[in-house]
A and B are shown apart, each in its own frame.
Chain A
Amino acid sequence: MSTVTAPAATRRYPLNAYGLAPKLLITVVIIVAAVIFSQVGPAAYVYDADVALLAAIGAIGLNLLTGYAGQISVGNAAFLAIGAYTVVFLHANLPFPWPILIGAAAAAIVGFAIGLPSLRLGGLYLIFSTLALQFVVEFATNQYDTSTGAIAGHFIPSPKLGPWLLSSDRVWFITFLVVLVLVALFTWNIVRGQPGRAYAALRRNEAAAAVMGINVTGTKLMAFAISSAIVGLAGGLGAYFIQEVSSGYYSLTLAISYVAMVLIGGLASIWGSIIGAFVVTMIPFIMQATASSIGGASQGGFFEKNLSSIDTAIYGLAILIFLFFRPEGIASLAKLKRNQMEVNKAALAKSWSGGTK
């Protein structure tokens, strides 16, 4: 046979040629369902979902760096803080989206600078420089809080975007969803294109990548800068959302919880980042609900007293289990299925063509 004909499904649905149709359909269904849920769902759950969506934006940022570019960072809380404190500084002088965008730019610049040492060194050194950044930012923000007398936090009023006042959880949900979709598309575009392939090459073998003509320095620095900008963006949005910015919130524990999201959800996967963010942010809510449902029996008992450390232990154990048995995270479970389906489809197509010829 000399001519290769496209499978029937591709002819009927052109998007299928890129493997997009099923994914796109699922994504649209999920987004529609999420929007409906956010407008009619119970108010308490909408707040929980807001927290998760916001975390998902940051998790995508971290995943771009860790999953795709293969550089591990524990500086997320610091970048969130940079985004949030830029909002603290600028919210009175500039209209709504600008402080966030400037915060993202500030985070990008700091990310760029922090990335510099790890250009001369391998990826693991970024842990040390981001850890250093975490302590420096924690110190600086804490100093700022103390010097301005805002120990309890800096208050940020609800912003206005055109005619809409962004104050209710339901409005925030839509805002976060829009930003999340934009960030996801942006990231997807990066990882699907030339930079994504450059990241993959760098991750496997830096020297070989350089020989292939990849600009190692530029690629790495861009990854740091973009990833930090996305996390900074999430930090700025979060400042408007929680309305109380205080240095104590942006701790190393917070940074590590983002690492947990990426690891549990799946490295190098956008859906994985979102799933991981939901899993990690939902654990406390679920545990809280479980505790109060069985709480009557064990008021002040072990479970009641240790709720937050049980949450932490659960997500720590979840990371351990995933690293051990499925280092690619939850998202790989779906991928595995899809690959199997593709194999089945291929086998099916083969059997058909074999049957007709």
Chain B
Amino acid sequence: MHLALQTLVGQLPTAALYALVGVGFVIVYRGTQVLNFAQGLLALIGGYFFYSIAISEGIPFWPALVLSLIASALLGALIYVLMLRPLMGQSALLLVMLTIALNIVLGAVALMLWGGATHFVKAPGAKVDLHLPGQIRITALDVAVVVLVAILLTAFAIMLRWSSFGSRMRAAAENPLLATYRGINVGTVSTATWAIATVGASMAGIIYGATNGLAPSAGNALGFAAFPAVVLGGLDSVGGALIGAGILAEVQGFAVSYLGGKYADVVGYGVLLLVLIVYPTGLFGSKEIARL
């Protein structure tokens, strides 16, 4: 019972990570019809940005965080404007391959710039243990991560639902042509979508850097680990990605607690295969994604 509770609570930060990566994946897919295979690498590079700014340059935590997120937003916007915008309207296959190629290049560049060693990011509270009732232990950092991600994603959902920019984003995703007729600059909205998704991913990267450490393998570990969550929730549903992230993190957590650490990936992908075979649109996905 104690192990179960510990696992349940202990997996919440992982769920938060998957949610950050997954929501970015979903809004990019909805907004620009690109399945972004480089999402994990964008997370890793976001983490490295923070590492370089905070550790190598010695800038304090919060300013470094802001600077690195700005850098990530620029990176995401640049990728969209330079690489994807010119090829919009091409076949989905071509766009996916483009992101796979981007994944390869970013991975290689990251390895050249930051090397193969594991870099830990220093974050306040990583070493502070909190004892919850029922003898559950969790670090202050983990609590902060879960709370922060919950606040951010709620804010994002509110923005998407009620702000003018949010409705422009949804309109551009729903029907780019009609959105253009109504005077929405779809190019700008899509660029912003990529920037937001990359910021989300890089937050995940920074958190991963504080908890697991940043290494070249972490890019695909983060990006590809979040895929089952996204497919489970439904590829084009933001809320679905959140719930998928929660379910996946907990299922993996229990597999690791009760079966052993090596089962994390294989259980995640077992879930993915099961969802694809049994319920391919995911929990909250629209019917259209089946025609992808």
Contact = CB atoms under 8 A, between A and B. Distances in A.
Contact of A132 (B104, B111, B272): B272
B117 interface: no
Contacts of A116: 277
Interface residues of B, number: 43
Given A135-B265, A320-B98, A124 B292 contact: yes
Interface stretch (B10-18, B86-94, B154-162): B86-94
B280 A256 contact: no
Interface in B60-80: none
A248 B163 CA distance: 49
A320 B270 CA distance: 32
A319 B104 contact: yes
Contacts of A256: 100, 103-104
B147 interface: no
Interface string A320-336: 10011001000000000
Contacts of A327: 90, 94
Contacts of B182: none
A306 interface: yes
A117 B279 CA distance: 10
A127 B102 CA distance: 16
Interface string B192-235: 00000000000000000000000000001000100110010000
A218 B265 CA distance: 32
Interface core residue of B101, B112, B220, B273 (most chain A CB under 10 Å): B101
B262 A121 contact: no
B97 A259 contact: yes
A121 B269 contact: no
Contacts of B37: 127
B18 to A, nearest CB: 15
A320 B292 CA distance: 23
B276 A131 contact: no
A136 B264 CA distance: 11
Interface residues of A, number: 43
A316 B101 contact: yes
B2 interface: no
Contacts of B97: 72, 259, 263, 319, 323
Nearest to B86: A324
Interface string A298-338: 00001000100111110111011001100100000000000
B87 A128 contact: no
A191 to B, nearest CB: 17
Nearest to A321: B101
B276 A121 contact: yes
A263 B104 CA distance: 13
A38 B291 CA distance: 48
A22 B111 CA distance: 46
A125 interface: yes
A272 interface: no
Contacts of A124: 35, 92-93, 96, 292
Contacts of A133: 273
B290 interface: yes
B83 interface: yes
A322 to B, nearest CB: 9
A66 B80 CA distance: 25
A315 B109 CA distance: 12
B105 interface: yes
Given A127-B96, A316-B104, A319-B97, A139 B266 contact: yes
Interface in A125-147: 125, 127-129, 131-133, 135-136, 139, 142-143
* Pairs A-B, 3 closest by C-beta atoms: A316-B104, A313-B108, A316-B105
24 contacts: A72-B96, A116-B277, A117-B277, A122-B291, A125-B280, A131-B224, A131-B227, A132-B269, A132-B270, A133-B273, A135-B224, A139-B262, A252-B220, A256-B100, A306-B111, A309-B109, A309-B112, A310-B112, A316-B102, A317-B105, A319-B97, A320-B98, A323-B101, A324-B86
Given A131-B269, A135-B224, 17 more contacts: A66-B93, A72-B97, A124-B93, A129-B272, A132-B228, A136-B273, A139-B262, A139-B265, A259-B100, A309-B111, A310-B112, A311-B108, A312-B104, A316-B105, A317-B101, A319-B101, A323-B101
